[in-house]
Amino acid sequence: MSSPYALPAEPLAPPLTAVAPPAVAIETVASGFTHPWAVAFLPDGTLLLTERPGRLVHFDPRRGQRHTVTGGPPVFAQGQGGLLDLVLAPDFATNRTLYFCFAEPVGSTHARTAVARAVMTPDNRALTDVRILFRQEPPLPGELHFGCRLLFEPDGKALLVTLGERYQARNEAQNLTNHLGKTVRIDPENGAGLMGRFWQERCQRGDRNACHAQPEIFTWGHRNVQGAIWHPGANQSWIVEHGPQGGDELNRLTPGGNYGWPHYTYGEEYGGGPIGEGKVHPTPYQPPLIHWTPSIAPSGMAFLASDRYGVEWQGAVLVGSLKFGEVRWLQTVCDRVLHEAILPVGARVRDVRVGSDGLVYLLTDEANGKLLRLTPQPAEKP
């Protein structure tokens, strides 16, 4: 069996060693959401959910009550665009600040990924002090590949944003003068890029590409990143991104790393045919930690710090699958993925989050989208 992690000169062939998923019951907490994209857990036990058409919903699961939160900016709600990811500031309990990522309309035909910061009113009914912190450049026509996952680094001083290459501009993922096919690292207070000195030092060492790099760019050579976590065991951020007809990737992010798209990929053109120069990522391109071929269409992603599903699953990475309607449970140790379990859900899984109770929650991407909870079940006696 092949290694469960990729080396620079070694192609990876899935599947990983298959194991049984934890015993869980899949409970419906609420339904009736319109293509929900992200969920956040507030300190008072209530929830915020984004709906792709452009609504931010406050939901109280104890009372079954919900309402639309007002005050958000216009969104480009076409195709894969709309109101997408949402995270609370690390100090939300004291300042009620949150961040959201969305497809922003530019004129009548173009759009781009944007990130906003806002303050929630005490009654959870409106956003105030809405400020756009970051806008992807350049805006383009089209409805695909916005990326749009948000991730705070552990100290709360940097915010990572994933950016798609908008599908038709895939070669621009290798161009450091724009934001297409990149992850960016910004100051959550003012949106300033935090990588300027890094690229200046590379430039001074003779890397000509680095001399023109945008100061926000953290990594490059991505296609469409749809999930992001901080992995404390590996002490780094991990992401999942869609490949083209195969080659979905789980990547660990290294500052300044180039992840190869579209030069190196395990996927192929829609309808068949190779892309780029090959599958194996030669130095200095970063190989995926694992890849899925055929594609699972990975989306939301979570790190399981709790032991609610047994100590053997503590430290697992969970990845939602849009294509197969399931959750992939990845057993990890430090920066290795050892085993994979598949939990069928029966609907497109858009987001995966761990609640304050240590349990896993899912959002299903449907016109009648659901918030699901995975409740541990006692092991069957032999």
Active site residues: 145
Q: Which value, to the nearest 10 degrees, does the dihedral of the CA atoms of residues 198, 199, 200, 205 take?
A: 100
Closest alpha carbon to 112 in 56, 166, 167: 166
Enter the tokens of residue 184.
Answer: 């960016």
DSSP 187-219: -TTT--BS-HHHHHHHHHTT-TGGGG--TTEEE
Q: What are phi and psi of 174, to 5 degrees?
A: -100, 15
CA distance 242 to 245: 9
Helices then strands, counting H and E runs in the chain, come out as 2, 26
CB atoms within 10 A of CB 180: 26
User: CA dist 87 to 91, 150, 256, Å?
Assistant: 11, 7, 24
